[in-house]
Structure formats: structure tokens, C-alpha cells
Amino acid sequence: MQGYQELIVWQKSVELVVEVYMLTKQFPREEIYGLISQIRRAAVSMPSNIAEGRMRGYRKELRQFLLSAYGSGGELETQIVIAKRLPEIQELDYSRVDALLLEVMKMLNKMIASLRT
């Protein structure tokens, strides 16, 4: 079984985390304990769950952790939608985060489907 670092979905999700951190650095300081924290936590959860599931070594557990990563992606997507509607941060460029999130979610969906019993 290959390690998690070789998984393209893990690599892309780490790239997503980096983009999320760069984006949220531009958010207003008062969001440090609000949206910034929530968005970063959801983003970091994605590659973390992928890695943990892969390291467990069992298909059933891998699927469960991939589902958790997918759920975190849903959280992240929702939080980005909210951020885009806030006047003070709606003008930021979300395109890279949006594209990576969509790509990672599609990859996770395919992996989860392939592990159905």
C-alpha cells in the first residue's frame, strides 16, 4: 500500500491549505477568531483525514476518513460562500481556492465511490 504523500488528492489538498492561508491573511484582523480560524481548520482537516485514513491500512477506515475529509470540504465551501458575501472581503480573489477545492472534492468523491462495499 502506498503512503499518503504519494496520493495526488493529498498533495492537492495540501496545496489548497497553502492557498487558504494566503487568502485568509488578507481578511480583516477581527476575523482571526471567526472566519479565519474556521476556514483554516476546515482546510487543514482535509489532508489530515486523508493521511490518517491511509495510514490505518484498512479500506473501511480509509473510506470513513475520506468521508470526513469530504465533509470538511463541504464546511470549507460554505465558509468561503459566506466570506464572499461579506462586504469587507468579497472583492478578494477566491479563484485559486475555488478551483483547488472543486478538484479535491471530485477526487475524494471518486475515491469514496471506489471504496463502497
For the chain, percent of residues with pLDDT exceeding 70: 97
Query: How many CA atoms does the CB half-sphere of 34 hold within 13 Å?
Result: 10
Domain borders along the chain are 4-114
Q: First vs last Cα of the chain: how many Å apart? A: 19
User: Which pLDDT score, from 0 to 100, does residue 116 have?
Assistant: 86
Q: Are 75 and 35 in contact (CB under 8 A)?
A: no
- Could you report the per-residue pLDDT of 63-95, keeping only the tens digit for each? 999 999 999 999 999 999 999 999 999 999 999
The CATH label, of 3.40.50.2300, 1.20.1440.60, 1.10.260.30, 1.20.1260.10, for the domain at 4-114 is 1.20.1440.60
